[in-house]
Amino acid sequence: MIEHILFDLDGTLADTADDLANALNAIRLKHDLAILPKEIIRPTVSLGGNAMIKLAFDLEEGDAGFDTIREEFLNNYRANIARETQLFEGMEKLLVSFENTNKPWGIVTNKPSWLTDPLLAAMSLDKRAACVVSGDTLEHRKPHPAPILHACKLMQSDPAMTIYIGDAQRDIEAGRRAGTKTLVALYGYIDKDDDPASWCADGMVSSPHEISNKLSELCI
């Protein structure tokens, strides 16, 4: 039986791409660069801020100017963190169904806590989640299994009776290494060149509406 559910945040639980894209484009405008279409930015969101900066400014970590742009970008995002962000369609109903059937759910994200915490508070999710493990909670981040194992410990759950749902290969790798079941959120920020079928997850879902049925299948 799957008794506990863990979600990645960006691209799995919540659609944060527009707010992140707006923050990134604000910095591009400041540097007299044209706005990037959101559909170009969207697939990089689950890869983190560094990947978004590389896309928008062709800068790698360690390059001159990288740290300044990263600080501007993240501070801009923090100041406007929940303007357009919302749960994916069907997610609220799913969370309520978990809560009504005493199935604790939590969040494991690589997003740092100084961004995760205010976002969840703004969405009134902070008191509902059984646990929240951010990218700076531990020494390691996904794809290392430690964050998921820590979440299981906080929820007093057996990894073998827990599922981790994410939209990036590192999510699935972290879940598999931690010993949980895994689901790919195909509705998330998956690039056209990605091959989710090769990630060796236990299943894939095209929308949050499909998650409950997929959990039932995995329990058989």
Is residue 90 within 8 A of residue 207, CB to CB? The reply is: yes
User: At a CB cut-off of 8 Å and minimum separation 6, what does 185 contact?
Assistant: 8, 11, 12, 165, 166, 167, 205
Euclidean distance between CA atoms 165 and 192, whole angstroms? 20
Give the predicted TM-score (pTM) of the model: 0.95
Pick the closest to residue 96 from 76, 64, 60, 124 (CA basis).
Answer: 124
Q: Give the percent of the chain with pLDDT over 90.
A: 94
Per-residue model confidence as pLDDT tens digits over 126-159: 999 999 999 999 999 999 999 999 999 999 999 9
Q: What is the structure's pLDDT at 218?
A: 83
Q: What is the structure's pLDDT at 48?
A: 87
Catalytic residues: 8, 10
Per-residue model confidence as pLDDT tens digits over 51-81: 999 999 999 999 999 999 999 999 999 999 9
What are the angstrom distances between the C-alpha of 39 and each of 18, 28, 44, 109, 125?
9, 16, 10, 22, 27
Q: Give the percent of the chain with pLDDT over 70.
A: 100
Q: What is the structure's pLDDT at 131?
A: 98
Read off the pLDDT of each residue in 158-177 and give the average, rounded to a whole number. Answer: 97
Q: What would the CATH number be for the domain defined by 4-15+86-219?
A: 3.40.50.1000
Per-residue model confidence as pLDDT tens digits over 173-214: 999 999 999 999 999 999 889 999 999 999 999 999 999 999
